[in-house]
């Protein structure tokens, strides 16, 4: 593999010095880009893009080609490839979120759940290797997975966009059943992320998109404890190095002190928290990634620059900040507004790294 030309992202995750604040955008390859919509049309569907390493590579590189100021790339895939490999039957209906043919609610079905054969996910590992080769060292590649809790919400509910009542009911009425799902997901995620690392992922991120829906105690018991197990289970890469990990609970800033103790190198933040206060609460235990409200990218370049400058000022001097959105970029974002954000990060961040 080619030597890395831009290591600012990896250095920031390790809280080492960088000349500016590195930046990438959650969902940076996606529907707001006309070239993505074109590739999706050629491939047939979103899942056809994910399952074909050639297309996954093509769309992963689209934002890098368009925006030279990006400091990281992320594997084009989805967190729901895991429940799909576990036999739940993932599909997408046009204009709607993800759905599953089967749900996990009956005791017998839950007890039959097991870690899938990673060979079913070979297309993901092949995509990682092909992307690494094609990026040719320009920026690092992030691998990722959903958190055990967030995956469980889709497995139990059978779709997204719900209030998680079936999953929460199970948490309180039959915690043993939910723990069986979460433990199986945890072992699956460990194998999945380690296979991505072996295939060439240079950092890994765990998306706990729905952890913020839980109560304090339930978050620790049903989400955070399992993410801690995953971080502890990550293995070294082919060069014998530990790759950095990022844990992101959307709506999770209430629990930053607890998150700071699980051994992750960085914590993702959504836009609800002031990043300067988050930095004080986390101290030297982790780097921070975030946290511009993606809705701001629907506004104007002037408003975007002002918000970017305000987040950078709040974080203040020193290292350990990866700039990002607080959640995925929306499909209605004008691509030139994403460019305005990236330019503002570069322009305003250098003063804090002197």
Binding interface with ligand CP3 (CB under 6 A): 26-31, 40, 46, 74, 76, 78-80, 97-98, 144, 160, 207, 209, 250, 328
Residue in 38, 18, 21 with CA at minimum distance from that of residue 30: 38
Find the shortest distance in angstroms from Cβ 59 to ligand CP3: 8
Q: Which residues contact 279 (CB under 8 A, 6 or more apart)?
A: 288, 315, 316, 320, 321
CB atoms within 10 A of CB 65: 10
Find the shortest distance in angstroms from Cβ 79 to ligand CP3: 4
Residue 172, burial from CB neighbour count under 10 angstroms (0-12, 13-18, 19+)? exposed
Q: Extract the tokens encoding 240.
A: 């014998």
**What are the phi and psi torsion angles at 322 (to 5°)?**
-105, 120
* Closer residue to ligand CP3 (CB): 200 or 348: 200
Q: Which residue has the tokens 């502890």?
A: 232
Question: Is 27 an annotated catalytic residue?
Answer: yes
* Closer residue to ligand CP3 (CB): 75 or 312: 75
* Closer residue to ligand CP3 (CB): 154 or 348: 154
Q: Which helix (H) or strand (E) holds 98?
A: strand 98-100
List the catalytic residue out of 7, 71, 78, 265.
78
CB atoms within 10 A of CB 108: 6
Find the shortest distance in angstroms from Cβ 278 to ligand CP3: 19
* Closer residue to ligand CP3 (CB): 46 or 352: 46
Q: Which residues contact 258 (CB under 8 A, 6 or more apart)?
A: 220, 224
Find the shortest distance in angstroms from Cβ 41 to ligand CP3: 10
List the catalytic residue out of 15, 27, 138, 279.
27
Find the shortest distance in angstroms from Cβ 29 to ligand CP3: 4
How do beta strands 245-249 and 266-268 pair?
parallel
HSE value, Cβ hemisphere, 13 Å, CA-based, for 5: 10
* Closer residue to ligand CP3 (CB): 40 or 347: 40
Question: Is 31 an annotated catalytic residue?
Answer: yes
Q: Is 134 helix (H, G, I), strand (E, B) or coil?
A: helix
Find the shortest distance in angstroms from Cβ 62 to ligand CP3: 10
* Closer residue to ligand CP3 (CB): 67 or 76: 76
Find the shortest distance in angstroms from Cβ 328 to ligand CP3: 4
Question: Is 154 an annotated catalytic residue?
Answer: yes
Question: Is 126 an annotated catalytic residue?
Answer: no
CB-based closest residue to ligand CP3: 209
**Are the C-beta atoms of residues 243 and 201 closer than 8 Å to each other?**
yes
Rounded CA separation 243/234 (Å): 8
Planar angle of CA 53, 205, 326, nearest 5 degrees: 110
Beta strands in the chain (DSSP E): 73-74, 90-92, 98-100, 141-146, 203-208, 245-249, 266-268, 287-292, 321-325
Q: Dihedral of CA 328/181/235/3: which sign?
A: negative
Question: Is 102 an annotated catalytic residue?
Answer: no
* Closer residue to ligand CP3 (CB): 91 or 316: 91
Residue positions annotated with a catalytic role:
27, 31, 40, 78, 154
């Amino acid at each position: 593999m080619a030597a890395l030309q831009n290591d600012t992202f990896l250095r920031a995750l390790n809280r080492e010095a960088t000349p500016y604040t590195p930046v990438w955008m959650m969902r940076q390859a996606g529907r707001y880009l006309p070239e993505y919509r074109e590739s999706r049309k050629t491939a047939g569907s979103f899942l056809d893009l994910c399952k074909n390493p050639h297309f996954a590579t093509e769309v992963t590189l689209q934002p890098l080609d368009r925006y030279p100021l990006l400091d990281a790339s992320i594997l084009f895939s989805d967190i729901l490839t895991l429940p799909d490999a576990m036999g739940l039957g993932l599909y997408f209906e046009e204009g709607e979120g993800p759905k599953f043919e089967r749900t996990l609610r009956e005791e017998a079905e839950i007890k039959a759940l097991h870690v899938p054969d990673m060979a079913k996910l070979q297309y993901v590992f092949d995509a990682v290797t092909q992307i690494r080769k094609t990026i040719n060292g320009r920026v690092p590649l992030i691998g990722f997975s959903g958190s055990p809790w967030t995956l469980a919400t889709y497995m139990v509910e059978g779709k997204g966009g719900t209030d998680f009542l079936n999953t929460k009911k199970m948490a309180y009425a039959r915690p043993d059943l939910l723990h069986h799902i979460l433990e199986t997901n945890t072992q699956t995620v460990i194998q999945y992320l380690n296979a991505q690392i072996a295939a060439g992922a240079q950092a890994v991120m765990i998306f706990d998109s729905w952890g913020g829906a839980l109560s304090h105690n339930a978050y620790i018991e049903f989400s955070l404890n399992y993410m801690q197990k995953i971080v502890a289970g990550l293995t070294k890469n082919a060069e014998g190095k530990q790759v950095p990990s990022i844990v992101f609970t959307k709506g999770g800033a209430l629990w930053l002190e607890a998150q700071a103790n699980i051994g992750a190198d960085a914590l993702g933040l959504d836009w609800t928290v002031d990043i300067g206060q988050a930095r004080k609460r986390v101290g030297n235990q982790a780097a921070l990634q975030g946290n511009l409200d993606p809705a701001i990218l629907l506004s104007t370049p002037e408003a975007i620059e002002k918000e970017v400058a305000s987040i950078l000022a709040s974080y203040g001097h020193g290292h350990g900040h990866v700039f990002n959105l607080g959640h995925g970029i929306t499909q209605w974002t004008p691509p030139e507004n994403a460019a305005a954000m990236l330019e503002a990060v570069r322009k305003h961040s250098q003063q804090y790294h002197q």
